[in-house]
Amino acid sequence: MSGCHGPKMRMDPTLHKEKKPDWIRVSLPNKPEFWSTKSLIKDLKLVTVCEEAQCPNRWECWGQGTATFMIAGEKCTRACGFCAVKTAKPDALEDDEPKRVAEATKRMKLKHVVITAVARDDLKDGGAEHFQKTIEAVREANPGIVIEVLVPDFNDRDWALEMVMEARPHIFNHNIETVERLTPLVRSRAQYQRSLTVLKKAKEMMGGKIATKSGLMLGLGERKEEILQAMDDLLAHGVTVLTMGQYLRPSPKHLPVVEYITPEAFEELKVIAEEKGFRHVASGPLVRSSYHAADFRPELDLEE
Ligand code: SF4
């Protein structure tokens, strides 16, 4: 049981049986934009994290004509206990993928794009150059678009991170995913401190002129004081945008849900995070890293 909420917000113990509470239910697609986005992504042979990670909001986001592109293949070299992406030896990078992503953002008339990737520990640069090329291609095809990257840790290789930052994304996102104590259980190979360092270095490499963002999944057994500590750690490393959402188990092979956090508890955490100093906080059961990403205005940081 997490200490996320006080006595009034304690969950019903029957929820431990993995029966999802009502607030987790999502509606199915009913907008034509969902189907046109789906066919466009298929036509351009692209991969979206929306499908790979079985995101519960994909109906809503695609219905609004937005998507998060996952570059560098569908097979990850890591095996995080929460993640639905397949672990396998990845395929070679596709040279024309940056252009295909750019073409999709143009056809979809996106104003904000999120570009992410699996961890490519098989590549010396962890896929950094591929990120760089994709950012550049998107900017060229779609001037004025806000580009958000959600990157792996590149095994803390500064030169690889620099390749990404040289392409000047507007928002740099790297998720710490969970509190420090649970990191070895939840994340494969990634380290809590290393992720914080990556976030700090990315900001420093841009002279502070970039919004940095991170996210936590809740319901994995973390305690409230650990969440608050994670918030303090992120703020101390320059992070100004925070997302918090409910962990949902993709399959019985994945880590079990320890607790379903109530919407009220998520709201309470949002208020706490804002009081602590985050400039933008998205917190709720169905919030994911890229959920309503365009709602955040990165100019808040860039103006400084
Ligand atoms: S690094 Fe972990 S979270 Fe990211 S895609 Fe690979 S398995 Fe999933």
Residues 24-36: tens digit of each pLDDT:
876 666 667 777 8
Give domain status of residue 1, yes or no: no
Does any domain span residue 32? Answer: yes
Count of domains observed in the chain: 1
Q: Is 79 in the pocket of ligand 1 (CB under 6 A)?
A: yes
Q: Would residue 220 count as lying in a domain?
A: yes
Task: Rank 2-6, 21-25, 211-215, 292-296 by mean pLDDT and report only the highest.
Answer: 211-215
What is the CA(78)–ligand 1 centre distance, in A? 6
| Ligand 1 contact, 234 CB (< 6 A) | no
The residue behind tokens 């990157």 is 151
Q: Identify the top-confidence range among 3-7, 286-290, 293-297.
A: 286-290
The C-alpha angle 270, 209, 166, rounded to 5 degrees, equals 120
- Check if 150 has its Cβ closer than 6 Å to any atom of ligand 1: no
Atom of ligand 1 nearest to the CA of 119: 1
2, part of any domain = no
8 Å CB contact between 284 and 266: yes
**Ligand 1 centroid vs 86 CA: distance in angstroms?**
9
For a substitution probing ligand 1, which of 85, 186, 288 has the most ligand atoms within 8 Å of its CB? 85
| Percent share of the chain, pLDDT over 70 | 87
Among 76, 123, 177, 186, which is best to mutate for testing ligand 1, by the most ligand atoms less than 8 A from CB?
76
What CATH number has the domain bearing residue 204? 3.20.20.70
pLDDT tens digits along 251-272? 999 999 999 999 999 999 999 9
In a domain, 43, yes or no: yes
Please give the distance, rounded to the nearest whole angstrom, from the Cα atom of residue 101 to the centre of ligand 1.
20
Q: What is the residue range of 292's domain?
A: 7-302
Whether residue 27 is contained in a domain is answered as yes
Closest Cα to residue 283, out of 239, 225, 242, 223? 242
Q: Does the residue 77 lie in any domain?
A: yes
User: Per-residue pLDDT tens for 112-168?
Assistant: 899 999 999 999 999 999 999 999 999 999 998 899 999 999 999 999 999 999 999
- Give how far Cα 145 sits from Cα of 62, 101, 165, Å: 18, 13, 16
3-state secondary structure labels for all residues of the chain = CCCCCCHHHCCCHHHHHCCCCHHHCCCCCCCHHHHHHHHHHHHCCCCEHHHHCCCCCHHHHHHCCCCEEEECCCEECCCCCCCCCEECCCCCCCCCHHHHHHHHHHHCCCCEEEEEECCCCCCCCCCHHHHHHHHHHHHHHCCCCEEEEECCCHHHCHHHHHHHHHCCCCEEECCCECCCCCHHHHCCCCCHHHHHHHHHHHHHHCCCCCEEEEEEEECCCCCHHHHHHHHHHHHHCCCCEEEEEECCCCCCCCCCCCCCCCHHHHHHHHHHHHHHCCCEEEECCCCCCCCCHHHCCCHHHHCC
CA 120 to centroid of ligand 1, rounded, Å: 10
Contacts (Cβ under 8 Å, ≥6 apart) of 243: 213, 214, 215, 216, 281, 282, 283, 287, 288, 289, 291
Cβ–ligand 1 distance for 80 under 6 Å, the answer: yes
Question: Of all atoms in ligand 1, which is nearest to the CA of residue 84?
Answer: 8
Ligand 1 neighbourhood includes 78 CB (under 6 angstroms) = yes
Whole-number pLDDT of residue 10: 32
